[in-house]
Structure 1
Amino acid sequence: MIGFTRGTLDRADRERDDPEALAAALADPAARLLRLRALEPEVDAAGLMVWDLLETLPTDATPLFLGYDAGVPRFVVALDGEGSPTSRSPNLMTVLAAMPAGDAATYAAARSLIDWHRRHGFCANCGTATAPFRAGWARRCPACAAQHFPRTDPVVIMLAEHDGRVLLGRQASWAPGRYSALAGFVEVGESLEEAVRREVLEEAGVPVGAVRYVASQPWPFPSQLMLACVAEATDDRISLDTLELEDAFWATRDEVAGALTRVEGARFDAPPDYAIAYSLLAHWLDAQG
């Protein structure tokens, strides 16, 4: 199962432009507010996210309507200055690894929505301060009437394969031993397949041909859509861009299997289970079969 997917939230787009429906959701005694601390969710003893009564809502805060879960209205608040949208503490990684799929998907939506509001407080058209509307799923400029909607950045993440092996790399900032699939943003005027070929060639100097799409994942650090692929390398010579990668190597099937099962002495440390890079490696391993 891919992390941050299989959500249980009804996003209720039909009610975002309905003031009466939104007022009813806010007045519902069952309505709940997601408890976050520095953008990270607090969890109970069972590992479930904690939801507060709406009476805990700060008087100067604008609630963002996430939707309904099991008929209960769910909200989150964008508090300025709390936490970095790109950061993941060791505690958050532990929490996410144990969190039920529905909770993780709701958290991903909430965190990405908060991040978007933080980064889009001013109109991209004329520079005027904007204000949220559509229950928090858009911002409007009072000067030029431009409307702005949450966006997600497409990112390709891929395994280049050659002669029964896959290409893995690591960045210098990662924990010691951690290796993962290569990844990079899709540029304007570029197809998914073209982005895969360009990124692998730029980062590792490896040319690839055919590209197979595998799956996607919302990634809320800060707000991206990961597009997982497998690509066929036409050459296995590696020429690193050291500004992007600290190291790269071709991993065998046995080395990937050892890393995914976290065996002692594995050649490399695999990505966390909730990351699509882990799912992509597992998919490739199954295909080797």
Structure 2
Amino acid sequence: MGDREQTLPLTGAEHDRAAHHRLDEAWLAAAWEAPETRVLVIEQGKVHWRDLGPEDGGPVLVLRGTADAPEGERYFLGVEPDGTAHFAVAAAALPEVPDDAGIQVGHLYTLGSVLGDRDAGLLVHALGLENWHRTHGFCSRCGQPSEPTAAGHVRKCTACATEHFPRTDPAVIMLVVDPQDRALLGRQPSWPEKRFSTLAGFVEPGESLRQAVVREVAEEVGTRVVDVAYVDSQPWPFPSSLMLGFHATAADDHVDVDGTEIAEARWFTREELGAAVEAGEILLPGGISISRRLVELWYGKPIAESNKW
């Protein structure tokens, strides 16, 4: 089903997370003071970036020295191959910048497919930690406040000392094909009428990934899956998912949408999908998503469209 060697957006991180340094307070303090250390400032998912142009690296994150970093929770992200340490600071607001500095505000959903692997990797790591810390300020065991430790990768209860670790929610996402090799795409009720994507759903307790694929497809569109093949995975910190991508084969072309999670579902041949996209009759998932990759692997090549979401 096409070339699977191309790097999926958000999966090419180049920094070494160097977890052995997270409890080494002396090393972390020295790294913070090092003049070459770089800091990504993040405010509820928003970051600063600039476009250097196609010949000089294109869009890049604005990384600051520690002296220019604002106050906020500090997370150690890791080190580059040359030894440069990287931190993130979760700030109350992004620093002010001159109007003529060429610096813009962006977020992962729009930047993830245009940043280089290093910057996309730093951003997805920082965003995942920021999302988690912002929503897990209290101990789930005793209800008392918790505080960051292990350089931002653990929260520890101030009362009972229970340690809490960042949450990741596994979700299966699958392109289903029928015996005629047609692809099934669906539209959620909350989406505009032209938006179609692959099916997806969260893995339930005590369930294997294959079982989750079979169950979700049956629940959402009433289709019986007889074969499941793993393709790839992608971190998706919106706010804390890990997308596990599959191609699945259906027993037949039966479709009976549930009307709750899926409002409409259609089978497409490659010719029908290409023509519908070209005519603007449907909009596919954005290029950052594993959903788009699953569709294009089946299609056999990238799919160009004038309008994206």
Q: TM-score, normalised by structure 2?
A: 0.83
Q: Distance in 2 between matches of 1:198 and 1:224?
A: 19
Please name the residue that 1:145 is paired with.
Answer: 161
Within the candidate set 25, 40, 51, 2:31 is matched to 25
* One-letter amino acid matched to 1:206: T
Kindly state the Cα deviation for residue 187 of structure 1 after the two structures are TM-superposed: 0.4
Kindly state the Cα deviation for residue 194 of structure 1 after the two structures are TM-superposed: 0.5
Matched, 1:10 2:16: yes
Contact 1:33–1:53, Cα closer than 8 Å, also in 2: yes
Contact 1:78–1:117, Cα closer than 8 Å, also in 2: no
Please name the residue that 2:100 is paired with.
Answer: none
Contact 2:36–2:84, Cα closer than 8 Å, also in 1: yes
Look up the SS of the partner of 1:98 in the other structure.
coil
Q: Distance in 1 between matches of 2:50 and 2:106?
A: 17
Contact 1:48–1:103, Cα closer than 8 Å, also in 2: yes
Deviation per residue, 1:227-278 (Å, 9 max, x gap): 001111113121111111121101112234457xxx6315422211110011
Look up the SS of the partner of 1:42 in the other structure.
strand
Q: Distance in 2 between matches of 1:102 and 1:242?
A: 41
Kindly state the Cα deviation for residue 203 of structure 1 after the two structures are TM-superposed: 0.7
Deviation per residue, 1:40-77 (Å, 9 max, x gap): 22211221010122123334x22111111242211112
Contact 2:186–2:263, Cα closer than 8 Å, also in 1: yes
Distance 1:101 1:177, change over 3 A: farther
Please name the residue that 2:51 is paired with.
Answer: 45
Q: Distance in 1 between matches of 2:91 and 2:188?
A: 31
Please name the residue that 2:83 is paired with.
Answer: 71
Please name the residue that 1:86 is paired with.
Answer: none
Matches within 5 A, 1:33-182: 33-46=39-52, 47-59=59-71, 61-69=72-80, 70-79=82-91, 93-162=109-178, 163-182=180-199
* One-letter amino acid matched to 2:222: G
Q: Distance in 2 between matches of 1:195 and 1:93?
A: 26
Q: Distance in 2 between matches of 1:121 and 1:81?
A: 19
RMSD: 2.2
Within the candidate set 224, 228, 233, 2:250 is matched to 233
Contact 2:154–2:163, Cα closer than 8 Å, also in 1: yes
Which 5+ residue runs of structure 1 have no aligned equivalent? 83-88
Kindly state the Cα deviation for residue 25 of structure 1 after the two structures are TM-superposed: 0.9
Kindly state the Cα deviation for residue 92 of structure 1 after the two structures are TM-superposed: 5.5
Q: Distance in 1 between matches of 2:133 and 2:126?
A: 11
Deviation per residue, 1:173-209 (Å, 9 max, x gap): 3355221110000000100000001100111111111
Distance 1:276 1:244, change over 3 A: same
Deviates more, 1:174-183 or 1:110-119: 174-183
Contact 2:49–2:106, Cα closer than 8 Å, also in 1: no
Contact 2:43–2:91, Cα closer than 8 Å, also in 1: no
Within the candidate set 290, 293, 305, 1:276 is matched to 290
Within the candidate set 209, 221, 224, 2:241 is matched to 224
Matches within 5 A, 1:169-248: 169-248=186-265
* One-letter amino acid matched to 1:193: R
Kindly state the Cα deviation for residue 80 of structure 1 after the two structures are TM-superposed: 5.8
Quick one: percent identity of the two aligned structures?
42
Q: Distance in 2 between matches of 1:8 and 1:175?
A: 37
Look up the SS of the partner of 1:225 in the other structure.
strand
How many residues align? The count is 277
* One-letter amino acid matched to 1:20: A
Q: Distance in 2 between matches of 1:40 and 1:62?
A: 15
Q: Distance in 2 between matches of 1:223 and 1:93?
A: 14
Distance 1:38 1:120, change over 3 A: closer
Look up the SS of the partner of 2:130 in the other structure.
helix
Q: TM-score, normalised by structure 1?
A: 0.89
Contact 2:43–2:90, Cα closer than 8 Å, also in 1: no
Kindly state the Cα deviation for residue 97 of structure 1 after the two structures are TM-superposed: 3.0
Kindly state the Cα deviation for residue 91 of structure 1 after the two structures are TM-superposed: 7.3
